[in-house]
Each structure stands twice: as C-alpha cells, then as structure tokens.
Structure 1
Amino acid sequence: MSWRANSLVLLAWLISFCGAQIPCTRHSGDVPPPKFTITDKQCCLEWESENWNYHDTYLDWQMELLPHNPKIKRQRLAPNDDDSNLEEELCFNIPSFPYQKYDLKLSCSYTDRLDPWTDDYYPLTFLTSPAVPFHPPKFVPNGFFHDPLKRQLSVLWVQLDDLEFNGPNFSYVVTTDTGKRAVLVSNNSAIFHDWDATRSFIVSVWSRNSLGPSEDRSQLKVPILTQARSHQPQELRYHEDNFTISWQAPQDQEGLIGYVVSWCSAPKNSSQICDDHYPIHYKELEPSQQQLTFVRPTRLHNVAVSAKYKDSFLGGKPLVLPRLVRSTNETYNLWLGFYIGLSALALQFLLCVIPVSVRKLHKLSDKLYPMSYDLILNADIEP
C-alpha cells in the first residue's frame, strides 16, 4: 500500500476518533446519562439511546465498587453475561451486606487503542436495601453475674459487628422465659432488677433493627443461685510477674467439667462490667487447668473465672457463678500481708476495748463483701 493510501486510512481513523462519543462520561454529547436501579442482588445502569448500547465491541468497561465502610474491601466488578438483560442495560452483582453505602466508579476505553481509561465517570452512590438481622449475638459461656445485695443479675454477650446490623436503629432485646425484661446497660450487657435467686430461668437475647428482630435467639441457663458459693473457683490470684491468673477448684467438684475465663476492657462507666467499644474474649479450659497466661498487657482488663458443671439445670443445682477478678499481683500481696498484720493488732485492741463496735463493723463488712462472690477488677492483662 502506498504512502497516500496509508495517510488516507490514518486520516479516516482520526476523524472517527474525534467524532466518537464515549457514553460513560458525563460529557458524552447526545448520549443521555443512564438510569440507575438496584435490587437485593444487583445494580443496573440503563441507557436510553438508539445510537449505541453497552455491548458495542469498540468499548471496554471497567467498574470499581468503593465501600464507605472500611471493613469492606474495594472490588473490581464485571458485567453480568445475562441474555435476558436488555442490550441497553449494564448489570453487575453487589456484595451481600445490607444497608451499606457504596460509590460506583464506572469508566471505559476504546478497544484495541492506546487511549487511557476515562477519569470522568458517573458519580454514582447507592445504599443497599436493609434487612432484619441475620442472627443474634452469642452469650459468653456462663456469662452472668449475680449481686445478691442489690438483687441484680447481669448478663454478657459478644456483640455483633456493625456490618451485621443490617439496618437503622439497631439494638438488643433481652428477656427471661417468664417474660421479665432486662434493662440494656451497653451493647454487650444488660441487667435484670429484682432477680429471684430461688428460681432457675432461661435468658434469651435477640438482635433487632427498624425492620424487626432476628429470627433466632441465643439462650443462657441461669440456675438457682442460693447455694452458689460452693461451686465457685477459689483463691483467685493474678501474678503480674508472668501475667498469669490462677485459681483453685471449687468446694463441690461433683460434675465439674471445666472452667471458663472471660476478659474484657475495663469500662469508664461504673455501671458497666465491660467497655462495649471493645470485644469480650473468653477461653474454655479443662478441669485440670487452673491457670491461664496472657501476653504482656497493653491496657487494663476485667477478668472473670467460672466453673462449668454437667447440665443439672432441671435439678436446680447451680451450674456456675462468674467470679470477677480484680487487680492483684505479687508485690501487692506483700503489702497486703503487712497491712493484714497491722489490722490484726488493731482488731485485737478493738476486741478488748470496744466489742460492740467490732460487732457493728462485722455486720457492715458482710454487707460490703457478700459471700456469694469475690471481685478483682482492672487486671493488667492482654491475651
């Protein structure tokens, strides 16, 4: 082919390039912007133009989904090859996260040319449809704590991630099998007031948003708690030198099948047991294991150790009563021994001089430190 023929071909190519319109840009001449529709599974863009369709072989398409939630990864999308779609429709599958906002980056380029991808794309933003929560939170094993003086029962669960809320106005619902409803304290705990420790109950928790509650629920068995002391682990200690928590077996070991150690970040609110900005962790241990070692801590934690028994719920025997572990260490124990010695001398003096005051002090001590549980808070540990 002569140079003149080559020049004519090149000239024709340039003319076609200059006159062509790229429909995926906002400045696409006579091509109107697309209509945007969304369903539970896919999004579609539809252009109403007689001059072209997105199947045109001279165009390559590139789509990227940019989630607003940083927990969702950015995704490259490919058009659905569905013959049932109209030629003017460009459809693609969307992630299965309800009630999440995305930006769609849509660009195109000419096929078999050296042109760059268009950086002027439709600024499409959409919100996926909401749905009821798919599942409830899970209770922490043996995740309850009884305060007999206040007649309160606290229950703890592992809260859901915000990706699992599925809709607006998310919360939890906690009730007993008798219809008694708990007061939510945080996103991972609730309190029942006027708790009857002479009866056994089943506590249930649902997750809920503006569309309704989750179909399923999690349940926690709470036994009769009047004789719970003999089923609690004994002599709980936190050893700061090696970041280990240890304990002795409960007095009643019949049916003992193991232990549960739970820990969570210490809350700023005194009415809470755990800070709901951080997850609750737990580890289940065999009956022969009576200690748990953590790595070097980075922040203060609350720790609970409870004993697990074979299910004698119908018989009314207590399964467990969590014992919160408050901060203690070897150095602290040395000072504690010193203070105990001084206290013993002072107590002996008081017994000789003012026995009436001693009796009143003893009664006050019973009120402040009930025998049904011991507390150790703000243990310096991190798993």
Structure 2
Amino acid sequence: MYVFMRAMRNTHFEMRNTVLVSLFLASFWCTLCLAGYEALDHFHIEVSRAKLREGDSYNVTCWTDSLSALNQLCGAGGVQRLYMQVGRTNLTVSILNDTTIYHEMQSALPMHGRAFGYECLCDGASIVSTFFPVGVRLQVVDFSCRFEDAEFPAPFNCSFSRPPMSDTVDATANYTLQHDDRTVACQPVGQGLRMQCIGRLNNFQKAFNFTLRLHDQLGEQSQRFQLRREQMIVLERPGADFNVTSLNSSSICLEWSAKRSTNHIGYTIVWSKLLLNDNINNASVLWTDVKQATNRESVCLYRLPHPYQNYTIELQRRYNYSGAHLSPSFVYSFYTLPERPARPPRVWPNGYHIDPRQPNELHIYWQPLPQLEHNGPRFTYNVTVQRSSDPNQIIPAKVAVDSNEAVISDLELNSDSFTIVVRSQNSLGSSLNSSRIRIPWLLAPRRARRVPKNLDTGRRMGHLTWDPPEEQMLLSSYTVYWCSWNITDRSRCNEGLAIGSAEVERCSQCQYKPPAGLLIDAYKWAVSANYDGRDAFGSGGMSWLEWYHRPLMTSVVQSDHVHNIQGIIALIILGGFIYFLVRKVRYMSNIKVDLPEGLQSVVPAQTAVGQELPLLTPHMQQEQQQREERQKEHEQQTNLDARIHYPPVLYANFRPLDTLVPAQAQDYVRISKRAADLANPSGYICMQPTQPVKVTGYVSLP
C-alpha cells in the first residue's frame, strides 16, 4: 500500500511539471507572436501616384520606420533580404536606404483594382501588400462623323472605338459627345468596341467642333476633334427618278433628278463610275463626265463590247477631299439591244467526216461562238449546201444542226464536189460573213485512202497513235481533234463544249500527247490528213476513234480471254444445274399416290335433317408404314364406343382408289357391290353400309 501511494505522488509531480513547462512555452511563443505582429505594423507599401492611367509611370515603395523591426523579421541581412512580387513573379527592385526598397514602372497597363497587387516579402513570407486600379486612357484615333444632306438641321452620326479592356477595368465607364452646347450619350454598337453618338447639327457650317468625354471611377477624361464639312457630308444617292435617254447595242445614256445640286456650289464633286461585269475590263469602256443642268444630271457609257448582254453599272459620288464619305450606290442593270452576229463559227478545212457505212451522210464540225457573241435571242447556225461548180445553186439537202456540228443527209457525195456554207444566226438574221468547207469529189475507195488509219490509245497509255493514209503524195501535216463525250450518245461530241484541235507534222510513226490536264480517255478523238494546196483532190476528212477503243477499255481487253473462259465455265455449270432441276421437276410431276385399301376415318357430317353423319376420308399413309402402327390403329378402332348409332346411308366425297381390293369378311362397310361405280376414279360414289352389331367407323386393312 505504501509503495502504491508513493508511485501516485510521483505521477502527480511529473504531471504538474509538464503543465508548468507547457504554460511557459506557450507564454514564450505568444510573446514572440506579439512581437512579430508589432514588427509588421512598422512596414509600409505605397504607390507614388494616385489615379493612374494607361501609359503612366510610377514607383511602388516598401519601407519600414523601425530598423529593429526589420532586423526582427529579416534577421541580420536587413534590407538586403527584402524583395517584391506581382502574382508570384519577382520584380526588379532598387535599395533606396537601409530601410527602403522600390520598384519602378515606366508604362502602366490598364487593370482592375483587384486584378493583382504588389507584395513586399522577406524570406518567402509576405509582410505587406497593396492593390490599386490603372484606368484606360482616352486616346481615340478613329473618330469619324457623317451627316446626310437631306434635311436641316441634319442628323449626324459619330463613331469611334473605345479603348481595349475598358469593360474589364471599369464596367461603369460611359462616354458623352458635346457639339456646340448640346451633349449626347454614346452607346455601344454590336459586339465589338465600337461606340456611336447621334445628334443634330447645322449642315451648312464649314467646320464642326466635338468634345468626347470618358467618365469612370478615376474621374473624367476629354478629347477634342475638329472636322470639316467635306469630311462629314454624305451626298445624296444619284439616280433619283432616272430615265434612259438613249440605248443601243453598245451604249446607254441616263438622266436623273438633282434637286440639291445648289447645296454644293463651290465644292468639287468626284464621281465613281463602275461597270460591274466580271468578264469585261472597265478600261475598255468609255464613260462621259456627269453633266449638270438645272436640277438634272446625266451620264453616258459607250463602247460596250457585246450586244444583247446584261450589264450592271454602279454610280457614287463624294466631295474632292481626303477622307470624304462616298454617297450610297446607284446600281442599275440593263440589256443592250440585239444585232446580227458579228462573225460565223470557225471551221477547219478538213473538218468533216463521212462514215463508209452511211456514204450519203455528211458530218460538218466547227468551233461554236461563245454566248457573249450570240448578239441576240434564238441563236443558232445556218448551214447551206452548194455545188462547187455552181455556187449560186442551193441544194435542198436535209440538215440537222447542233451547237458544234451539222449532219447533212440525202446528199450524193460521189456525184460532185460540194461547198458547205456555215453562218451564225439569231432573231435579227444571219452573220454577213460565212465559213466554207469544200467537200472534194472523191469516190469512196479513194477517199478511204486519204484518211489516217488505225487510231488507237491502247499501245501507249496517254498517247494517241495512228497510221498514215495510203496516199501520202503531197501530204503536209495532220490535224488532231478532240471533244468531250456526249452524255447520252458516246459516238457524238458534247454539244455544249467547244472542239479542241492541234497541228502535228508529217510523220511515219504518228503519235500525239495531249497537254497536261487533258485526260485522253475522257475525250473523243479524231485525226485528218492535210495535203498541200497543189493537190487536186484534197483530204478525205476526219477519222474518228471509236469510243470503245479508249485506254480504259483497252486495258480490259488485254485480259478478256481469261474472263471469257471464266464466264463460259460459269455458264456450263449453270446450264447443268438448270437441266437437272428441270428433270427433277418432271419426274416429280409423274409421281402417283397409291391410296390404301379402305378409308382412314369417319368424321361426323350434317344431314339434311340436321343429323350428324360420319365423313369418310382416304387413308393417306404409305403402305410401308410399320405393322406395329397399323396394329395399334386397329386396336383403337375395336375399342370405340359401341353405342354410336350410324344411319343406314352414308354420303361422302372422296377420290377412290384406281385399283379395288375386295373387302374382307370382317369389314363393317361392304363395297363389293359398288365396284362397277368405281370405273371412273374421279367420280363420286354413294355407299350403302350394313348395320353391324358393333360399329367402329373404320375400315380394317388386311
């Protein structure tokens, strides 16, 4: 017991000592903390200027008024251990004295008051910090104003771009614009920085003074502008109440009202006159100066290149002063008057083709006119046929005309030489000039000897090759032709596209490589032989490459024998399958069904008096069924209820057996006496069954 009490006293003593030590340490650290807080009170940070704006220079200074406080927080290093940060980024600082450092900023950036602050630190611990805003500076460089010369006093509209980040720095900032003694508020326009100020002014002043003001949390800024009348006025749109005073196939003259022309006396007006057609150079047309009469203005446009074309002109005007505003545009579209086509289509001397399979049909080819040269509505081509011996005689041949080809039928080409005359034509008539193609009088065999042979593109991919004609005396060169395929008929050229051509010198192994970008398998090709002018007969015309000889098909033909063998084998297999299938169907159609000897079941049927009679149906099972199944059916028949009553006459419709088997003695229905009625298998029978002692409704099989 004594030992226990002594141990307890020792424990209490140790606990008391621990508590006393803890209280001492807590008091010591509290004293240090209070001393630290007191030291922080001796540090300060401040900005050298108030109400800073973008672009201002300033200093941020950190100092202490107690050297002991500096030594207490920073140790023996003193002011050397002080530094500054902005957003955890160290700044360049300068030491002013033993207690002061500062950071110098040459050009301030706009920022919100709480965007970021300056901190003064020592050994990584923040001592003191400061936050201050930097406002935007009103420095507008794109201020502009305009007013329309339409009423007095005229409404003006001034606009400018507010400084970037103005909304971020101070969302409460607003702008006003003062002119004379009137001040108007400016409002944002759209999603950008553009501002707009609307008011009224005297539009006859020569100069206008404006004062733009910015109001924000830092105070007010202002900026002054002076604009001349020439810089602000927007002249009236030309073309009011206009009318066309002159119009032909190449020129137009317009006149319109100009009621406010007297408002611009003493000012020079500059006009902008444009022809808006993309395919016509403005330098090729001729504009007259705008003429001014009493309240009227007029202008003319000459040298329009194409008759019966739609043209669009645009007229604007402004004062002759740098930066003056253009008036709203006057845009007018019109058609020049039509006239005859200026020229016929261009033809090739040998640009014709005679198919040996159709010797009385002649194909003529030409270069179609572009749409700009049609010069009028209902444009087409006029093709006539003349005898070369009598140019005044027009042969009434049948002519079918397309945009780049004519087919002349019912023409006896072996009887005489002919001249084909081609003209352009529209609703006003045909072109004065014509293009002519001479078709020489050549018999078919001789004509065939004067055309290139064996046109091909398969041996050299990307090249057209041919063999020279048989008659090479006075042969000078070749002409190669190509045209896009007709979508519906690949033996013809596309009517909407021009036919291309190129000259090839005389050659023995002739070939032509199309220019870059011209795929040879995408075009239809032809070649004609050109003979010297001393030749009395001339060319045999064009020789066309058949469409199925193009490289795409040629590459397939090289391996066609393999595909043909595969196709033949597939056809043989398919034919054999069809043969055996037909035999199988025929065999199945001859299958006969042999019915068993007797009837399968008796089903109740309705009589005339409403009584139910059993309906006999043929037994459809095959004879090869197992004997056990037949025995089971027989046992089921014999166990039927004997109380079932059957009428003396039983009617049924069924297909009887072709071969009759005499009924057994145990059969309940006797059919032997009805055998004569079964001579016809498809007929019907009426059976007279006997009334057995026990009726099962089934026919027993042997």
Same fold (TM over 0.5): yes
Q: Which runs of 5+ in 2 are unaligned?
A: 1-179, 182-201, 209-227, 387-393, 565-702
- Whole-Å Cα distance in 2 between the matches of residues 116 and 263 of structure 1? 54
2:380 matched residue in structure 1 = 171
Equivalent residues of 2:478, 2:504 under 8 A apart: yes
Return the offset for 1:97: 1.2
Say whether 1:226 aligns with 2:476. Answer: no
1:303 matched residue in structure 2 = 525
Residue identity matched to 1:138 = R
1:269 matched residue in structure 2 = 488
Which deviates more, 229-238 or 72-81?
72-81
1:215 matched residue in structure 2 = 432
Helix, strand or coil: the match of 1:273? coil
Say whether 1:138 aligns with 2:360. Answer: no
2:411 matched residue in structure 1 = 195
1:371 matched residue in structure 2 = none
Helix, strand or coil: the match of 2:395? coil
1:344 matched residue in structure 2 = none
- Give the alignment partner of residue 44 of structure 1, picking from 231, 253, 276: 253
Residue identity matched to 1:186 = D
2:506 matched residue in structure 1 = 287
- Whole-Å Cα distance in 2 between the matches of residues 269 and 58 of structure 1? 63
Return the offset for 1:147: 2.4
Structure 1 length-normalised TM: 0.72
Describe the shift of the 1:239–1:272 C-alpha distance in structure 2 as closer, same or farther (beyond 3 A). Answer: closer
1:103 matched residue in structure 2 = 312
Describe the shift of the 1:105–1:49 C-alpha distance in structure 2 as closer, same or farther (beyond 3 A). Answer: closer
Say whether 1:12 aligns with 2:205. Answer: yes
Residues 177-204 of structure 1, C-alpha deviations (whole Å, 9 max, x = no match): 1333453342000111112121210101
Describe the shift of the 1:25–1:80 C-alpha distance in structure 2 as closer, same or farther (beyond 3 A). Answer: closer
- Whole-Å Cα distance in 2 between the matches of residues 201 and 164 of structure 1? 29
Return the offset for 1:233: 1.6
- Give the alignment partner of residue 61 of structure 1, picking from 256, 271, 274: 271
- Give the alignment partner of residue 323 of structure 1, picking from 529, 539, 543: 543
- Whole-Å Cα distance in 2 between the matches of residues 339 and 307 of structure 1? 38
Describe the shift of the 1:23–1:78 C-alpha distance in structure 2 as closer, same or farther (beyond 3 A). Answer: farther
- Whole-Å Cα distance in 2 between the matches of residues 323 and 260 of structure 1? 10
Residues 1-21 of structure 1, C-alpha deviations (whole Å, 9 max, x = no match): xxxxx99x9983269959988
Return the offset for 1:220: 0.5
Say whether 1:156 aligns with 2:365. Answer: yes
Residues 243-266 of structure 1, C-alpha deviations (whole Å, 9 max, x = no match): 111122211111211111111011
- Whole-Å Cα distance in 2 between the matches of residues 84 and 115 of structure 1? 21
Describe the shift of the 1:58–1:267 C-alpha distance in structure 2 as closer, same or farther (beyond 3 A). Answer: same
- Whole-Å Cα distance in 2 between the matches of residues 214 and 78 of structure 1? 27
Return the offset for 1:57: 4.1
Residues 42-89 of structure 1, C-alpha deviations (whole Å, 9 max, x = no match): 33333455763899743221122223xx53356798742599999843
Return the offset for 1:238: 1.0
Equivalent residues of 1:260, 1:305 under 8 A apart: yes
Equivalent residues of 1:65, 1:75 under 8 A apart: no
- Whole-Å Cα distance in 2 between the matches of residues 24 and 117 of structure 1? 9
Describe the shift of the 1:300–1:47 C-alpha distance in structure 2 as closer, same or farther (beyond 3 A). Answer: closer
1:257 matched residue in structure 2 = 476
Residue identity matched to 2:469 = P
Which deviates more, 212-221 or 82-91?
82-91
Task: Please tell me whether Structure 1 or Structure 2 has the larger radius of gyration of its CA atoms.
Answer: 2
Equivalent residues of 1:65, 1:104 under 8 A apart: yes
- Give the alignment partner of residue 331 of structure 2, picking from 123, 126, 130: 123
Equivalent residues of 2:475, 2:532 under 8 A apart: yes
- Whole-Å Cα distance in 2 between the matches of residues 55 and 243 of structure 1? 72
2:79 matched residue in structure 1 = none
Describe the shift of the 1:90–1:297 C-alpha distance in structure 2 as closer, same or farther (beyond 3 A). Answer: closer
2:126 matched residue in structure 1 = none
- Whole-Å Cα distance in 1 between the matches of residues 265 and 340 of structure 2? 37
Residue identity matched to 2:331 = P
Structure 2 length-normalised TM: 0.41
- Whole-Å Cα distance in 2 between the matches of residues 22 and 10 of structure 1? 12
Equivalent residues of 1:258, 1:284 under 8 A apart: yes
1:248 matched residue in structure 2 = 467
Residues 307-362 of structure 1, C-alpha deviations (whole Å, 9 max, x = no match): 1123468x5x352231111224464564479999xxxxxxxxxxxxxxxxxxxxxx
Return the offset for 1:145: 1.1
Residue identity matched to 2:477 = G
- Whole-Å Cα distance in 1 between the matches of residues 456 and 235 of structure 2? 72
Return the offset for 1:155: 0.7
Return the offset for 1:143: 1.1
Equivalent residues of 2:483, 2:494 under 8 A apart: yes
Describe the shift of the 1:144–1:130 C-alpha distance in structure 2 as closer, same or farther (beyond 3 A). Answer: same
Helix, strand or coil: the match of 2:444? coil
Equivalent residues of 1:24, 1:122 under 8 A apart: yes
Describe the shift of the 1:159–1:100 C-alpha distance in structure 2 as closer, same or farther (beyond 3 A). Answer: same
Q: CA RMSD in A?
A: 3.9
More relative contact order in 1 or in 2 (CA 8 Å, sep 6+)? 1
- Whole-Å Cα distance in 1 between the matches of residues 316 and 284 of structure 2? 12
Return the offset for 1:23: 4.2
Return the offset for 1:217: 0.3
- Give the alignment partner of residue 400 of structure 2, picking from 184, 189, 192: 184
Paired positions, count: 324
Residue identity matched to 1:304 = A
Which deviates more, 251-260 or 325-334?
325-334
Which deviates more, 131-140 or 230-239?
230-239
Which deviates more, 46-55 or 132-141?
46-55
Equivalent residues of 1:174, 1:181 under 8 A apart: no
Helix, strand or coil: the match of 2:433? coil
Equivalent residues of 2:349, 2:438 under 8 A apart: no
Helix, strand or coil: the match of 1:232? coil
- Whole-Å Cα distance in 2 between the matches of residues 111 and 217 of structure 1? 52
- Whole-Å Cα distance in 2 between the matches of residues 167 and 174 of structure 1? 19
- Whole-Å Cα distance in 1 between the matches of residues 460 and 477 of structure 2? 26
